[in-house]
Structure 1
Amino acid sequence: MKKPIYLDYAATTPVDPAVAAAMTECLTMDGVFANPASRSHVYGWQAEEKVEQARGEVADLLGCDPREVVWTSGATESNNLALKGVFEAQEYSGHLITSRVEHKAVIDPARWLMQRGVEVTWLEPGADGAVDVSQVRDALRQDTRLVSLMMVNNETGAINPIAEIGKMCRQQDILLHVDAAQAIGKVELDVAALQVDLLSLSGHKFYGPKGVGALYARRAIQRQLRAQMHGGGHERGLRSGTLATHQLVGLGAAAALVTAGQAQEIPRLAAQRDCLWDGIKDLPGVRRNGSATAVSAAHLNVCFGGVDGEALVLSLRELAVSTGSACTSASIEPSYVLKAMGVSDADAHSSIRFSLGRFTSDDDVARAIAHIRDVVTQLQPA
């Protein structure tokens, strides 16, 4: 049976073969397998060297000092460390600004903080799916401790104006956290230029392994964070736990590939995304959710008016796509992201996220267009 064309890269990316090869060299006795914290013998020294090389590769990707890269299990843990770490240090006092279209890995910790006394302002996005700088400015208060906004939305690909928000927050000595899980490899970023203080990333979103990620924590603010995992004081006291050498080597290798190739890969993805949209936009009842310009190179969220999204996904047997975030795919509720943008329940239910990636070919896009047109024509009411 022929495999369907994979157009769900926003949910997870396959591990790049070069990354898998680098990881394989750090698993068995004839490789670099040891605990990086074992500093009494050569095996541990070799593992530590590999881990620090990977840290440098992630730092190069972000444009930061390697000492500002804190290893985690992924963006979910990074987000929790950022939000909870900041407010635990403040004894759960103060004010947090975030938005209603964040990933659940930010929304749920924010709600957890509310239960402990932190006041939260929930910003509403515009019809384009992004938060405006003026909204953040108007929400700022004297006791605002942290602004937490994603760089690229996981469902629509909407890009928030992080550089402008970062400049404003830095001027007022307010911390800015950015969930960049969907941004790596889809938009170019530099933490210094963006003026962010904390930034989360996850390896499996840019062709690295699952279960590993990092939190960028600007050196000047690291003392304002409280660790959420204890048991050994690893990562300069910010995150305890034995480092998984093979996972971190994979993350570093994936970061290095993005650094080397994003100047070519981002335009290619954008061209394929635009080709896909051009091939289906004339279908009756079809419209694009969100902005056509301030959007990541890999995302295309489309409403097929009058067609049930679940029925459409099941009928598109030649494609692997989703109706929204992988973390909420079991829910029968319409996308909370699309609803916050003003999309009706019916249209949210009729919407599908297409996301392209490194291994998407032009032939894949052409075949996808033909298949979508055929299936949608059959499903739309006469």
Structure 2
Amino acid sequence: MSRSEIQHRADFSAIRYAQCWEDSRLLVCALKPAGRHCLSIGSAGDNSFALLAAGAASVTAVEMNSAQIACIELRRAAYLTLNHGEFLEMLGSRPSSGRLKLYRACRKKLTADVRDFWDAMPEEVENGIGSAGKFERYFATFRRVVLPLAHSRKRVLDLLVARSPQERERFYNEVWDNRCWRWIFQLFFSRTVMGALGRDPQFFKYVEGSVADRILERTRHALVELDPAENPYLHWILTSTHGEVLPEALEEKNFDLIRNGLLAGKFEVVPDSLEGWLDEIHDRRRYDAFNLSDIFEYMSAENTRDLLERIIAGANPGARLAYWNMLAPRSRPESLADRLKSCGAEADALFAEDRAFFYSRFVVEEVVG
């Protein structure tokens, strides 16, 4: 089995991400999944399910972390067992006092190892499975301990009120962007603190420059250029629930589409690295769309090129790739220009609307055929 570069350096024994923190709206627009066979980085499953809701012919979620697979499988069971409101309650998108009961309803659809995983985590289930990851706990610490040093609860809720672009800019400059806000941001979103509390320190191996400065710039974009009232990711970070606007996989209009796709056998989970799965299916199976999350963030430029070559070998002509850069710049090298076309203008236009605001770039590429 081929191993991903990061597997040699980071710990993958616990839930890192209990939600997907890449904007599914961009992903769906970029990959155009209707009728396509999609290969998707699994993570917590949300964006893979969003591709299914958008009409994918099939979705293969590849995930090397068994804890992340447990997140995906519990969501699968919830789609098949609960109604939409109950589903949102169990994730934590909406308040609930009965999440353990909802879990017990889903439990019989889980495999023994996934049951054992969640049975051992009743507190995480009771708090909402969308808050069970290391990254979500990092945001919870920011919300409960750090943010109150700069802003009151009332001011935080006021930030999430719908305003015109001009009013948002005034609010940010005159109310939100005070000295304390900038200071705590520089500290809490530094490479050191983020590596210790949020992401594995090894994820920063290829990062250049100040982590906090780049994220602060993107945060201003999300608070001024975009509408905070329409941002489910920002709502979760600041309030621990989603607002009225939800990520695609959680929208009511998509709930039955996902359920029906699951019942039709259009979704599978592969417990492997992306490299391992591409080697496994060599010359036997090809895909039309690739959700690559921010996988290249953790790879050297050389390994990025090698993986892109494997993806091209496992792709049909015209297949589309979508992925994010957070802090390490990665995209198709010029040596692959004759096989992989950059869709830079399209990607930049989509990135301007990215609600998951801590990324520095969105990349869309197309296999030449």
- TM-score, structure 2 normalization: 0.29
Q: Find the structure with the greater CA-based Rg.
A: 1
Larger % of helix: which? 2
- TM-score, structure 1 normalization: 0.29
